[in-house]
Structures are given as C-alpha cells and as structure tokens.
Amino acid sequence: MRRPLIAGNWKMHKTVREASEYIRELNELPWDDSVEVAVIPPFTCLFAFWEARSRSRIRYGAQNMFWAREGAFTGEISPLMLLDLGCDYVLLGHSERRQIMGESDRMINDKLRLALETGLLPILCVGETLEERESGKAKEVVGEQVRWGLQGVSPHPGLVIAYEPVWAIGTGVNATASDAQDMIRFVRDIIQKEWGAQAAQELRILYGGSVKPENIGEFMVQDDIDGALVGGASLDPKVFADIINFRST
Ligand code: 13P
C-alpha cells in the first residue's frame, strides 16, 4: 500500500514570518496521519520549517537545487544546504522552471542524480503543454521527460513523480480524474519496464494542476494516483487541510 502524499508548492509566496504562522495554524488543524503532508516553500522560508521541526508534523523540501555540491555558482543552492535545513524533498523539473528558466531534461537529470546521492528525495515533475496534448503528443512528451529524468538512476523507493499538465497549472481547469489516471498509469508502466514490477508498485505518483478541496476526492479514488501537488490552494492552511482530509471533505 502506498501512503498518500499531499504536497503544497508555495511557489514564490510568503515571508518567513508568514511561513511560521502557517506552520502553527496547519499543525493546530486536525488531519489524518495516514496521509503524509509536505510543504515546498521558497528557500528563504525553509528556516521557519527547520526551526519548528520538533513541534511540527509537516515534512518539507525545496523548489529547486543546483547539480553540484559546492563551488563558484552565484545564486544557486546546493543539496547539502537543503539537507542542513532538514529538507526531505526537492522539486525538480517543475514546468515553470522548464519553461521560464529554460531547464532541460539533461539539467534535471543531473540534479536528480545528485539529490539521491546526497540523500534528498526528488519529486520529479512532468507534464505536457496544451499544444502537445491537442496534437496527440501528450504521452510521447511525458514518457520522454520520465525516461530522461531517470536516466542512470537505480530504483529508489522514496522517489516521487508528479504529473502536472501545464495547461492545468494555475488555470482553474483541472485534468479529469480519468485522464490523470490514464497518464499516471502510463508513467507507472514505464517505471515497471525500467525498474521492475516491485519498484513500480512502490513508487508514488501525484497529480497536480488546479487541485482544490472540491476535486481532490475524484483524483484520490483512482487506482494509480497517490496524492497531489497543490499550488494556489495550499497557500491557506485551512483550504490545504481540507485537501489533506480528502476522505472526509
Ligand atoms: P495550481 O494548484 O495552482 O494549479 O499549481 C499546481 C502546481 O504547479 C503545483 O506544483
């Protein structure tokens, strides 16, 4: 049985003070411990999570990292610095980084291999654009992103993949639960071919793109969807808790 993971990606939102307040509020709300909860705040807010770690049930991680341990890389953050702040996870290959910052599959693969080597768990984001979906290329694109992202990587039970169709991110238009299930099953089949049946059964694959309390239930009843990567709706702890408590929402 795969433990559901609900992860909130704050993107470029919140100050350290706001993060501390959020951590306190979310921890005070009731949630079901059978669900793993993680927040992926901006780098500067990680300190608030580290500081609250002894009284917080929230796991956390970073939105990006560099592909080297240290060196003359002005403006970049090493995985060792993230581990130093207690991070479990690191998001890699988010479509905003692929599209706005021009990150390539090669760079993402370099980062992913170093993340695992140093002890961070990558959440590898994949997803097609609207144009790619409309031209019938969605599976080809997502398949390539998965294969490239995991090139040279041996099976790892802690790794997470997030399927986030670009057209569903921040638009309010989510993928249908059955389309998301179909793509996520396709990704699991690739993992099975590359890593074998057991690794494919263990790997958690999330859906992301306009997830909210009103639609989380539809995704979570699908066989292959193990959780969600939530953007906008994770910014308010009460709304995020309603997503975490999808069984009773
Ligand atoms: P929204 O939930 O705001 O659509 O964002 C999804 C996302 O990009 C999470 O990484």
pLDDT along the chain (249 residues), means of 10: 96 98 97 95 98 97 98 98 98 97 98 98 98 97 98 95 96 94 98 97 97 97 98 98 92
**Residue whose CA is closest, atom 1 of ligand 1?**
231
Question: Distance between CA atoms of 110 and 132, rounded to whole angstroms?
Answer: 25
As for how many domains the chain has, the answer is 1
Q: How do residues 173-207 score in pLDDT, each as one tens digit?
A: 899 999 999 999 999 999 999 999 999 999 999 99
Spell out the residues 6+ positions from residue 67 whose beta carbon is closer than 8 angstroms to its own.
Answer: 107, 110, 111, 114
Atom of ligand 1 nearest to the CA of 40: 10
Question: Distance between CA atoms of 121 and 87, rounded to whole angstroms?
Answer: 9
Is 94 a residue of the active site? yes
User: 97 is in which domain, residue-wise?
Assistant: 5-248
CATH number at residue 56: 3.20.20.70
Reported as half-sphere exposure (CB side, CA atoms, 13 A), residue 92 has a value of 32
pLDDT of residue 249: 67
Quick one: tokens of 227? 């959780």
Does any ligand 1 atom lie closer than 6 A to the CB of residue 95? no
72: CA distance to ligand 1 center in Å?
Answer: 32
Is 28 a residue of the active site? no
Q: How do residues 129-150 score in pLDDT, each as one tens digit?
A: 999 999 999 999 999 999 999 9
Quick one: tokens of 152? 């040279």
- Which among 94, 96, 103, 128 is annotated as catalytic? 94
Mutate to test the pocket of ligand 1, among 123, 126, 173, 211 (most ligand atoms within 8 A of CB): 211
pTM to 2 decimal places: 0.97
